[in-house]
Amino acid sequence: MKHAYVFPGQGSQFPGMGKNLYDTNEKAKELFERANEILGFRISDIMFSGTEEDLKQTKVTQPAVFLHAVIAFLCTEHGQPDMVAGHSLGEFSALVANGTLSFEEALKLVAIRANAMQKACELQPSTMAAILALDDAKVEEICAAVTAETGEVVVAANYNCPGQLVISGTVKGVEIACERMKAAGAKRALVLPVGGAFHSPLMAPAKEELKAAIETATFNTPSCPVYQNVVAKAVTNPAEIKQNLIDQLTGAVRWTQSVQAMVADGAGEFTEVGPGKVLQGLVQKIHKDAVVNGIENK
């Protein structure tokens, strides 16, 4: 039975995150202080003492979730992963875990990504919505129809688990799509409290900025495969990993399909590393026989 390590994305942050690591592990403390230097502000203070509101800013959230996950991975005892994956932002954490990126290189890319996405969010009012208990194909069909008929952008963005899909697009496009989803039988179509249309074509300006940074970064040959969001299959070629990471900003997070691919390739145990337990719940819904656990999720 193979052991997969998975890393959460934006939305799993909480006040006080990482403080236990900082207080009890000397190596973790050094990494947090190194991160403060790289970022040019004391993100550790915001993580340990900031409010939920402080942590919600994309430029803070993304590096905070990344740091909690990566430092937990680097500073706690665990087995070696046979495969890794990350949900959206979590893909950067996964790439540190399998040696593709160094801690410093990944943190710099995450900071660039967060700031670029923040700017893209400010260019046009946009949002996301969770669609529950509606077939994936039906969600995709409705999104395509709304875009074709109204010119508003709306796409399937996060395939989280069977019966839970997040759509993304302009505020008007998402609102129209939500009404149609409910009419088509969705149990819920809930607009989320996010300030932008992540994983949609509206992230194109951020994609260009991130692309420039990724193309000059050093990507090493990984120690094990990463199952990337946009292709939902094992990848080991550094050039492919780079391209998939760039495409992820405007492409869908195929989490359901990624977990299914890991299971098909022998994964039976999944360890979520970082804040929260969201991925443990999703993995269990995708593959009920999986053994799931977590590291530093409190």
Q: Is 88 a catalytic residue?
A: yes
- E strand residue ranges, 15-118: 83-86
Tokens at 29, concatenated: 């403390």
Q: Is 199 a catalytic residue?
A: yes
12, 44, 88, 126: which one is catalytic?
88
Is residue 130 within 8 Å of residue 124, measured between CB atoms?
no
Cα–Cα distance list, 257 to 47, 48, 206, 237, 239 (Å): 32, 35, 25, 20, 22
Residues 6+ apart with CB under 8 A from 153: 126, 147, 169, 170, 173, 197, 200, 201, 202
3, 68, 87, 199: which one is catalytic?
199
Instruction: Return the H-helix or E-strand segment holding 126.
Output: strand 126-132
What is the Cα–Cα distance from 139 to 134, expressed in whole angstroms?
Answer: 7
Please list the active-site residues: 88, 199
